[in-house]
Amino acid sequence: MNLLKTGALLLSATLLLLYSCSDTDPVHVKGVAKQNGSLKTAPEFTLKDANGSAVKLSDYRGKVVLLNFWATWCGPCKIEIPWFMEFEQQYKNQGFEVLGIAMDDDGWAAVKPYIAEHKMNYRVVLGDDAVANLYGGIDSLPTTFVINREGKVVDTHVGLIGKDDYISEIKSLLNDTNKDAVLSNSGSPAAALLSLGAIR
């Protein structure tokens, strides 16, 4: 009987860790940051990357950005990182970037070896309480903000969500932007549809 209880407790603890590194359930909030009926601009910050270079969120304006708060000790973060590496590789040429904000208390001493060991192909900066507070206070890791090309927060995810959910959001934002670009450069709706392959 004790073995059964122990197994159930271990399973419960594992499931909790798989969703987020806190005591809250995973949350998906579409357009969480609406302000007066429109999407809220993602707060600006300047943080240092592993090379000591200053990185500003505004450097990414014009791109779809997946802004991920994470830590090396966070189980769900370890699940997401390979997905994010795949997204970076697959969508980078379409105007997409992943930007990781590491929230490790041990700073670069913990983060740099992790980046090297996992061959992370996207930029990582070291976060702090000030940037976490700009984003409403980060109580759970991972917490991810999906930001459109105009720098507006479109989606927020607290905890682990499905890989396909991210893919759907990324493709939707990249496709919306591509359609807008074609419409603005085509001169007429018919020309836009023709260039998108909708009519022949």
Tell whether 70 is covered by a domain. yes
Tell whether 84 is covered by a domain. yes
The per-residue pLDDT for 10 is 41
Whether the CB-CB separation of 27 and 136 falls below 8 Å is answered with no
Q: Which domain holds residue 10?
A: 2-165
Number of domains present in the structure of the chain? 1
Whether the CB-CB separation of 64 and 87 falls below 8 Å is answered with no
Tell whether 190 is covered by a domain. no
pLDDT digits (tens, 9 = 90+) for 136-154: 999 999 999 999 999 999 9
Tell whether 27 is covered by a domain. yes
**Interior CA angle at 53 toward 93 and 120, to 5°?**
50
Tell whether 192 is covered by a domain. no
- Report residue 163's pLDDT band, with 50, 70 and 90 as the boundaries: very high
This prediction has a pTM of 0.76
- Calculate mean pLDDT across residues 151-175: 96
Tell whether 187 is covered by a domain. no
Percent of all residues in the chain with a pLDDT value above 70, rounded to a whole number: 70
Three-class SS state of 85: helix
> Residue 14 sits in a domain of what CATH number?
3.40.30.10
Whether the CB-CB separation of 85 and 122 falls below 8 Å is answered with yes
Tell whether 24 is covered by a domain. yes
**Range with the poorest average pLDDT among 47-61, 111-125, 178-192:** 178-192
Tell whether 28 is covered by a domain. yes
* 157 beta partners: 28, 144
